[in-house]
Structure 1
Amino acid sequence: MNQDILRSYKILDGEDLSMTEILALSKIGGEDLLDLVSLSYKVQKKYSPSIHLCTISNAKSGLCSENCSFCAQSSFHHTDIATYPLLSFKEIFQQAEKAYQNGIRHFGIVTSGYGYQKVNEEFQTILHIIEKVKKDFPDMEICASLGVLSEETAELLVRAGIVEYNHNLQVNPEKYSTLISSTHSINERIQTIKILKKYPVRVCSGGILGVGETMEDRIKLAFLLKNLNVDIIPLNVLIPIKGTKLEGQQKISPLEVVKTFALFRLIVKDKVIKFAAGRETIMKDFQGLIMLAGANGFLTGGYLTTKGRRSEDDKEFLEALYEFQE
């Protein structure tokens, strides 16, 4: 076995791995990659054994003022996605009800746009939806992903009943303005995470792979998320969408994705690492390998502007995964 991997087994005894050690592991390949996957799986089983499943509602789509390079919803891009204002109270509630009937107990409300730093009519509607879902489905966990927040709006969301808030940092902060967006700063996003960490809610923050970053960039992002003590780390793999700045971006390989997930697990050993966009389209037949490389969560039922697998298929997938956990 590769000596760097052997030395890394100390993580199972409670020791953390340094950035230098992780960078050394990032250089391995060939048959050694499966040994790395095996170690990451052991770490996941020991420190974060449960599997996290959720579905999301694209409650407000398109016309976003920000110029995020990968995003089909940016007003800077010309894509053929559906654009619409905030869905009605009834429409979002019906989506939550359907998810509940399909056995999903974690429902996320996602809106396009910079965020909500002040309370307006739209934000109040979202608060009422959260309160209604919590009342009718007490065991349904509500997550929100609404962009940048202020102290005021964060507190109101918590009081309404959210248990989790998603706010991705996307890439190594040093590369954010060049790889992701120049219309807002990474510090604004980090500040929102710090505000939310004051409350008893889980913070969900991760990144996107394949936008031009290096493996070292991904590792730096993972260590930042560890230092911010986020609870859930969703990793998306870029799906190049026609009309966006990254429409011609070369797709990264399944092997690169597997290695990235394995390294993230060795850095944030006790957190949920969730596979989001790209699971079906990029990984295809290899998506199960990601769940054996340290991931222990995934989105089901589709993403914001791209389709995913049917929830029924993912339920079968989940049942098979549980056999590996026994």
Structure 2
Amino acid sequence: MNDYLHPLVGQAYEVLHTGTPLTYELACGLSGLQGEAVADLLSLANKVRNRYACLEDGTVHSCSILNARSGLCAENCRFCAQSLHNEAGVEQYGLMKREQVFEAAGRVYAQGIRHFGIVTSGYGYRKITPEFERITGLIRDLKEEYPGLNVCASLGVLGPETAAALARAGIAHYNINIQVSPGRYHDLIADSHPVSDRIDTVRLLQKYGVEVCCGGILGVGESMMDRVDMIFELQRLDVAVIPLNVLVPVDGTPLEGSGAVAVSDIVKTFALCRLAHPCKIIKFAAGRETVMKDFQGLLMLSGANGFLTGGYLTTRGRDIADDQAFIEQLRHFGGGNS
């Protein structure tokens, strides 16, 4: 291996050569890299992404979400603007009407987006309710109305009957994040429910053959080692898609005024995630525009092969057309041709 490479990065090249995921022990060592060694790590992660996480159509995974029910959540997640425990002043409304959901889906479909997620605030649906049946009906109808549209959902914690119902409805991906290392969930995220509810939901969905989108959030008070622990918990769960968010502090929440995560730590986390998950979809979600700013492209060269476009639940994002032009330019660097 090149003498100019940091020895730990040299060891990590085994992932590129064999496709074998990074070990926890080596990830712990790599998490402490600084300076030029971080750039070497990013280069390796990009090579691994290009070799093992190439999407069939040669593009990146892009999805758009709809905040189909906003606010009114009884859980006390510290970062969330939609919690009733916080005072963020977000708009509150019940489940959107059918025509509103179809209008939103049709808008992104016309712009070439083929993954569309219905997101609702709240703890979840352990049992089938009339509202839950409305949602599964929407999933079926959207798939029929828009050929090739992958309809996804993020509805919170599920039980066996609701997980099975979503599988029958033909859902493409189901999102439920563990947010942080499970051992830090109670302290950093919420104490109104255990993280085991989320982990159990992941396993339930997998039992019924549903691909799970599960990741976390950076910048809520966790350490780099906590991030490594989260990455390897996701490896144990063997989820299909890993979304990584970066905290955008919202006034009226306990995390308002939180300091920004260093860009170098963000890209290092993405690179470690790629090396631990060589073949998975890893996408950047919230914080891409507001935190990364001029360094957005660096993320796509650090192992990411997907992103959320068109806005988030309670904050604006970039226009889909701008993101598509951005990805087209990245093709010249190998960052948009995964």
Q: Give the TM-score of the pair, scaled to structure 2.
A: 0.95
Taking the aligned partners of 2:330 and 2:167, their CA distance within structure 1 comes to 33
Partner secondary structure for residue 197 of structure 1: helix
Taking the aligned partners of 1:58 and 1:164, their CA distance within structure 2 comes to 16
Taking the aligned partners of 2:22 and 2:85, their CA distance within structure 1 comes to 41
Q: Is the 2:81–2:88 Cα contact (8 Å) retained in structure 1?
A: yes
Shift in Å, 1:58: 0.3
Partner secondary structure for residue 141 of structure 2: helix
Shift in Å, 1:93: 1.1
| Residue identity in the other structure for 1:35 | D
Other-structure match for 2:32: 27
Determine which of 41, 44, 57 is the counterpart of 1:36. 41
Other-structure match for 2:10: 6
Structure 2 residue 77 is the aligned partner of structure 1 residue 73:
no
Taking the aligned partners of 2:147 and 2:333, their CA distance within structure 1 comes to 30
| Residue identity in the other structure for 2:226 | D
Other-structure match for 1:47: 52
| Residue identity in the other structure for 2:175 | N
Partner secondary structure for residue 317 of structure 2: coil
Structure 2 residue 156 is the aligned partner of structure 1 residue 153:
no
Determine which of 246, 251, 258 is the counterpart of 1:249. 258
Other-structure match for 2:66: 57
Determine which of 260, 263, 267 is the counterpart of 2:272. 263
Other-structure match for 1:173: 182
Other-structure match for 1:103: 112
Taking the aligned partners of 1:162 and 1:101, their CA distance within structure 2 comes to 20
| Residue identity in the other structure for 1:250 | G
Taking the aligned partners of 1:198 and 1:98, their CA distance within structure 2 comes to 33
> How do residues 78-89 of structure 1 correspond to structure 2 at under 5 angstroms?
78-89=87-98
Task: State the Cα deviation string for residues 16-71 of structure 1 (Å, max 9, x = none).
Answer: 32211111111111111110100000111111022110000000000101000100
Task: State the Cα deviation string for residues 181-212 of structure 1 (Å, max 9, x = none).
Answer: 00000111000000011133221000000000
Task: State the Cα deviation string for residues 55-94 of structure 1 (Å, max 9, x = none).
Answer: 0000000010100010000000011211111111110111
Moved more, 271-280 or 7-16: 7-16
| Residue identity in the other structure for 1:65 | A
Q: Which runs of 5+ in 1 are unaligned?
A: none
Moved more, 111-120 or 7-16: 7-16
> How do residues 205-284 of structure 1 correspond to structure 2 at under 5 angstroms?
205-284=214-293
Taking the aligned partners of 1:304 and 1:182, their CA distance within structure 2 comes to 22
Taking the aligned partners of 1:157 and 1:195, their CA distance within structure 2 comes to 11
Other-structure match for 1:322: 331
Taking the aligned partners of 1:323 and 1:159, their CA distance within structure 2 comes to 41
The alignment covers a number of residue pairs equal to 326
| Residue identity in the other structure for 2:163 | A
Other-structure match for 2:23: 18
Percent identical pairs in the alignment equals: 51
Task: State the Cα deviation string for residues 94-151 of structure 1 (Å, max 9, x = none).
Answer: 1111111111111000000000011112111111111110111120001000000011
| Residue identity in the other structure for 2:15 | I
Q: Extract structure 1 runs of 4+ deviating beyond 4 A.
A: none
Partner secondary structure for residue 195 of structure 1: helix
Taking the aligned partners of 1:35 and 1:296, their CA distance within structure 2 comes to 19
Partner secondary structure for residue 57 of structure 1: strand
Partner secondary structure for residue 207 of structure 2: coil
Q: Give the TM-score of the pair, scaled to structure 1.
A: 0.98
